[in-house]
Chain A
């Protein structure tokens, strides 16, 4: 009887432990965390291109600075990823700079 109870407790504890690990997922490695961080930053920077004209000069300047700060992280990526994301970053950064320039010209 005691033996059966012991086995049941061990099984339940094991199952609970297993399901909690599955629920919370495996802990991310530092490299994976870094990868997620640059991707999140990239998404945030480049998702404003459609409404670039409605951004203030300060907002545009900040986005340009953030793009410049992100570039070294993208340069560390593997060849294909680096090429694709550098191109995309160059395009959205270029647009922000272009809009900022045109806004400055409008003010003159």
Chain B
């Protein structure tokens, strides 16, 4: 009798153990899966980072335009192009066409064959005259030997960080002087008033807060590039940040997953590091 009940108890215990093991496995796998979601994808090579192919109207002829952010960001602020000139932050939303360039909009705002940069005229985009025809210089997708700038040679003189060029250090050292005003396009404005830096509490208990520098961000972006389109809520208590949204290209990820330094180095935004290190 006792032996029989013992056997039943042992079987019950075995089943309970099996159930526990199964539950643990499921929880472990779910944890792994969720941590996979919250891990940023590895960024491409710095030379490829921020590369945009514009082929909405030119995929057949003369071919797609390869736009490299690293080249233009060394010369102009983000604000100048995305606010004053009107390049949208989303792909295919600007509607750049040869005609609009010729009219002096979009690329043609600077690339008109007359405007000077460093004392030299900037070549005309989609110029009508044969002398101006340098289509392949921009429409370079799939073509070799047509570009005038090569990443490695171009950034050689700039200070480097853990990932490509340290653009802030480059500006501090005057290696770059991004232009923020375009005559006939930009508006005369007062200097942006100094905004206080602030901290954002991290959602996880072991992660140190983000130290956000309004100062650093407003120098290149102005105010209206971020507010309200990227950060729409003016109510402080209603703002909710998430790494998932960042990795999805929203919030900080609108720039820091595409052009500005990527999100793979936690210490860049969480400068004090995880709590167990601090």
Contact = CB atoms under 8 A, between A and B. Distances in A.
Question: Is the A/B pair a real complex?
Answer: yes
A19 to B, nearest CB: 28
Contacts of B99: 80
A51 B190 contact: yes
A87 B187 CA distance: 15
Given A80-B103, A87-B86, A98 B192 contact: no
B72 interface: no
A43 interface: yes
Interface residues of A, number: 26
Interface string A75-108: 0000011011001100110110111011001000
B188 A47 contact: yes
A52 B190 CA distance: 10
A83 B86 contact: yes
A51 B189 CA distance: 8
A80 B105 contact: yes
A50 B186 CA distance: 13
Residue in B191, B195, B224 with the greatest tally of chain A CB atoms within 10 Å: B224
B188 A95 contact: no
A63 interface: no
A46 B83 CA distance: 11
Contact of A94 (B85, B88, B100, B227): B227
Given A80-B100, A95-B227, A98-B228, A50 B222 contact: yes
A54 interface: yes
Interface in B67-117: 83-86, 88, 95, 97, 99-100, 103, 105-106
A91 B83 contact: yes
Interface in B193-226: 193, 195, 222-225
A48 B227 CA distance: 14
Interface majority SS (helix, strand, loop, mixed), chain B = loop
A50 B84 contact: no
Contacts of A46: 187
A53 to B, nearest CB: 6
B10 to A, nearest CB: 65
Interface stretch (B30-38, B51-59, B230-238, B255-263): B230-238
Contacts of B95: 83
Nearest to A108: B235
A87 B225 CA distance: 11
B224 A87 contact: no
Interface of A: 43, 46-54, 80-81, 83-84, 87-88, 91-92, 94-95, 97-99, 101-102, 105
In the complex, the 8 A-B pairs of residues with the closest C-beta atoms, listed nearest first: A102-B234, A101-B234, A95-B224, A98-B228, A84-B86, A47-B187, A80-B100, A91-B224
17 contacts: A46-B187, A47-B188, A49-B222, A49-B223, A50-B192, A51-B192, A51-B193, A53-B193, A53-B195, A80-B100, A81-B105, A92-B224, A95-B227, A97-B228, A98-B232, A99-B227, A102-B234
